[in-house]
Amino acid sequence: MISIVGIVGAGQMGRGIAEACAVANKSVILVDRDAASLGKSQHIIQRNLKRVVESARMTQEAADRALGKITYAQDIATIAPAQLLIEAVSEDETTKKAVLKATQAHLSKDALVASNTSSISITRLAIAIRAPERFIGLHFMNPVPKMKLVEMIRGLQTSDETFAVAQEFIVSLDKTIAMSEDFPAFIVNRILIPMINEAILALYEGVGNVENIDTAMKLGANHPLGPLELADYIGLDTVLAILHVLYEGLADPKYRPCPLLNRYVAAGWLGKKTGRGFYDYSGETPVPTR
Ligand SMILES: NC(=O)c1ccc[n+]([C@@H]2O[C@H](COP(=O)([O-])OP(=O)(O)OC[C@H]3O[C@@H](n4cnc5c(N)ncnc54)[C@H](O)[C@@H]3O)[C@@H](O)[C@H]2O)c1
């Protein structure tokens, strides 16, 4: 049973996985090269658990215990005790492979390694580690503490033992598993991201403005969030990166990213995490920008 988890990448996903693991009584070492990301993660995890206590879904003692389970570090060497290392850095194959490679000098040879990639081939990422049979895809959903699903993806090399230990780990977090084959963007994003791209195309072509497109899909298709709101929440850089993986991996022009998405990412308008995307987040409530 996995009880010590190392996580590299303390963005919105890394910190969410850290919180879910700590609440499930795992020790967590959360690593990021960026001190600001670590500071933000610590603040957000504290705030989230405070809210859970205030809503009487957790005792103060349990929240304090969970907070005490997480260590924050910039030095990759601190992952040494981890039995499972989860890579959660930006959605870029070269970056992910470099990070996975860098972890190898510090991890025990028995440790399992997972990637939280949204779209990139697990079989290809596995090449970056010394024992590809100990590598697996664990695709958590955002926000991790609230979302029940984890997609599990076996690479061609993933062993049955790695799969069994990883499966037990996910169940111990009280999550539900959907298995996906190792195809570009797996199941959730194969279906979700083209829909988001279509919503951005509808905006680009003037079919509707931001507010109307999101309202139409919330009230007309019973989606809890509109597609543009959801794109901002995921991060427009991540949405674009997933579209590139679909476009190149399936060699099908239907996955061509909308030019407006390219422009927003080029401008650094990445959504909620940078304060501006299809909405402006500088005030109390998000304001549509188009
Ligand atoms: N955003 C989502 O809704 C979502 C959902 C599921 C999976 N994912 C996947 O999770 C991963 C992370 O996404 P995110 O939304 O948390 O991104 P993010 O931009 O919020 O965070 C990425 C973090 O990685 C860190 N980082 C980048 N390069 C690094 C390196 N070389 N060493 C150490 N840290 C490094 C950055 O400093 C940043 O803190 C991506 O693969 C993404 O596709 C995202």
10 CB near ligand 1 (under 6 Å): yes
Which of 7, 43, 78, 89 to probe ligand 1 with, by most ligand atoms within 8 A of CB?
89
pLDDT tens-digit map of 150-207: 999 999 999 999 999 999 999 999 999 999 999 999 999 999 999 999 999 999 999 9
The protein residue whose alpha carbon is closest to atom 31 in ligand 1 is 99
Give, using CA atoms, the residue closest to atom 21 of ligand 1: 11
| Ligand 1 centre distance from Cα of residue 231 (Å) | 15
CA-CA distance, 193 to 17, in Å (whole number)?
A: 22
Q: Mind listing the pLDDT tens digit for each residue in 18-40?
A: 999 999 999 999 999 999 999 99
The answer, yes or no, to whether any atom of ligand 1 lies below 6 A from the CB of 235, is yes
Ligand 1 pocket member 103 (CB < 6 A): no
Taking only the tens place, the pLDDT of each residue in 79-108 is 999 999 999 999 999 999 999 999 999 999
* CB-ligand 1 contact for 11 (6 Å cutoff): yes
Q: What is the pLDDT of residues 118-157, one digit of tens each?
A: 999 999 999 999 999 999 999 999 999 999 999 999 999 9
pLDDT value, residue 6? 98
**pTM, two decimal places:** 0.96
Look-up: residue for tokens 């939280």?
116
Give the 3-state secondary structure of the chain: CCCEEEEECCCHHHHHHHHHHHHCCCEEEEECCCHHHHHHHHHHHHHHHHHHHHCCCCCHHHHHHHHHCEEEECCHHHHCCCCEEEECCCCCHHHHHHHHHHHCCCCCCCCEEEECCCCCCHHHHHHHCCCHHHEEEEEECCCCCCCCEEEEECCCCCCHHHHHHHHHHHHHCCCEEEEECCCCCCCHHHHHHHHHHHHHHHHHCCCCCHHHHHHHHHHHCCCCCCHHHHHHHHCHHHHHHHHHHHHHHHCCHHHCCCHHHHHHHHCCCCEHHHCECCEECCCCCCEECC
Question: pLDDT by residue (tens digit) across 224-248?
Answer: 999 999 999 999 999 999 999 999 9
What pLDDT, in 10s, does the model give residues 61-84?
999 999 999 999 999 999 999 999
- Confidence (pLDDT) at 73: 98
Distance CA 153, CA 139 (A): 8
Catalytic machinery residues:
118, 139, 151, 189
Domains of the chain: 4-180 (3.40.50.720), 189-283 (1.10.1040.10)
Give nearest CA residue, ligand 1 atom 28: 89
For residue 252, name the pLDDT band (cuts at 50, 70, 90). very high
**Residue appearing with tokens 């994003």:** 189
